[in-house]
Amino acid sequence: MARISPQIRQEILDKTDFLSVYQEHVHLQKKGGSYWGLCPFHSEKTPSFSVSVDTGLFYCFGCHKGGSVIQFLMDVDKLTYTEAMEELAHRSGVQIHFEESERAGEAEKERQALFELYDRLSKTFHWFLVNHASGRKGLEVLYKRGLTDVLIEKFSLGYAPANRQWLYSFLKAKGYSDNFLRHSGLFSKNDQYWPLFADRIMFPISDVKGRVIAFGGRAMDQEGPKYINSPETAVFKKQDTLFALSQALDSIKSADEAIVCEGYMDVLSFHAAGMTNAVAPLGTAFTSHQAMALRRRASRVVLCFDSDEAGLHAAERACSIAAGVGLETSVLLPEGGKDASEILEKKGEGELTRMSKNTINAGHFLLTRASQLFDISTMEGKAKAVSFLFPFLDALDSDVQRQGYIREIGKALGVGAHAVEMDYAKAKVSGINRSRNAPSSNS
């Protein structure tokens, strides 16, 4: 742990507007001597997260997490103690300086070295894309998809050279050890000289502070998988990370809404069309951790997944996950193209902007899906359709909302609301299949 004198620590805490730190992550309301909000550490629908006005300490009566504003920053932004103190010192205008030897132990050194490596590499990949002849074909792919130089710059897109000898010798020349490179997430597990990314368009993946922690790579030709992502490392956890969150953060906060789409190119297409609040999970399903990361910054989310069957199924799951953390959820179905990227390429910005207005609320989307997936002219089909909707019903914020949705289900499927309610109550007792469709309640 870094050495910061107790005096400096106290000075930083005294000068910190702790409420504003909490409020960046939690929507707080004052009640008595405390502020209350939805806990950013566990999934809940009524506020049990509190901040004491007098002490500046936080405590959650649901998951029992608690502590100082330093601990809060460490947990909520996944920072080390040193990073959290740096952040608070910066906010409060107190000068602190760490000597290299004062940094924490080996683990902390490795994290810092990884940040430095990924930063250096993303700049080098970017240079290849923009300035080197070999990057030209990559640029052309991006231009063809309707992306501009400004956007390529903003996301620091890059190109990984086709020569598979290049990366290892480049990094060795910079003085990196074999042992460090083995854990860097850049080389094959089976062959430490074999780079995972070669002849690919590179998408740097950043943490919420904008530090590059991983890459996504898109193939130029049809050889091998179209997209690959970095494996997890000491600084990269897939389920916690959203592509473009750092670039989209301000827009998400000011719009009080985030767009979640399927891939990197979709995110870039939305940003190209001026919808700069778009993010994406990393080639996997949308997780409740990612949903929580959004809920700390906004109250609404729009899901825009591909219009194929896999995309629709992903959207179904994501509805329950987003609603389950208390996000007001709606769905945007791509029209006139498979996804946002195809719409931008074929129809242009105007069409993507126009389409983005046609959202439907998650409940309505799921009802439509239920009537497509099951034969609701039969009693058996109706029963299946109803139970298909249970995970979402379960994820809803309040009993009032739930009652309203039960009435809607009854009307749409031609069954009595009371029957829906009875079936739901029975399913609750035997356990709704949460693993398939809903987030766990304690993530």
**58 is a contact residue toward Zn ion (CB under 5 A):** no
- In the complex, least distance from residue 432 CB atom to Zn ion, rounded to whole angstroms: 22
In angstroms, how far is CA 58 from the centroid of its own chain? 25
Part in contact with Zn ion (CB under 5 A); list of ranges 59-67, 230-238, 290-298, 384-392: 59-67
Determine which residue in the list 26, 28, 39, 89 makes contact with Zn ion, applying CB under 5 A. 39
**42 is a contact residue toward Zn ion (CB under 5 A):** yes
Q: Kindly state the number of chain residues that form the binding site for Zn ion, as judged by CB under 5 A.
A: 6
- In the complex, least distance from residue 48 CB atom to Zn ion, rounded to whole angstroms: 6
For Zn ion, the closer of residues 42 and 211 by Cβ is 42
Part in contact with Zn ion (CB under 5 A); list of ranges 31-39, 167-175, 373-381, 408-416: 31-39
d(CA 289, CA 60): 18
How many residues does this entry show for the chain?
Answer: 443
Q: Are 227 and 187 in contact (CB under 8 A)?
A: no
d(CA 162, CA 55): 57
For Zn ion, the closer of residues 62 and 404 by Cβ is 62
Q: Helices in 65-173 by DSSP H: which ranges?
A: 69-76, 81-92, 106-131, 136-144, 149-154, 166-173
**63 is a contact residue toward Zn ion (CB under 5 A):** yes
Part in contact with Zn ion (CB under 5 A); list of ranges 41-49, 303-311, 317-325, 398-406: 41-49
**360 is a contact residue toward Zn ion (CB under 5 A):** no
**36 is a contact residue toward Zn ion (CB under 5 A):** no
**62 is a contact residue toward Zn ion (CB under 5 A):** yes
Q: Are 280 and 267 in contact (CB under 8 A)?
A: yes
Residue type, 246: S
For Zn ion, the closer of residues 62 and 410 by Cβ is 62
**66 is a contact residue toward Zn ion (CB under 5 A):** no
d(CA 304, CA 316): 11
d(CA 439, CA 434): 7
d(CA 165, CA 195): 8
**160 is a contact residue toward Zn ion (CB under 5 A):** no
**∠ CA 74-76-80, rounded to 5°:** 20
| Assigned token pair, 224 | 């091998």
**41 is a contact residue toward Zn ion (CB under 5 A):** yes
**∠ CA 248-250-251, rounded to 5°:** 65
Part in contact with Zn ion (CB under 5 A); list of ranges 60-68, 153-161, 198-206, 374-382: 60-68
Determine which residue in the list 12, 60, 291, 420 makes contact with Zn ion, applying CB under 5 A. 60
Query: Tokens 């086709």 identify what position?
Result: 162
Phi, psi of 433 (to 5 degrees): -65, 80
- In the complex, least distance from residue 38 CB atom to Zn ion, rounded to whole angstroms: 9
- In the complex, least distance from residue 246 CB atom to Zn ion, rounded to whole angstroms: 25
- In the complex, least distance from residue 61 CB atom to Zn ion, rounded to whole angstroms: 8
| Contact set with Zn ion (CB under 5 A) | 39, 41-42, 60, 62-63
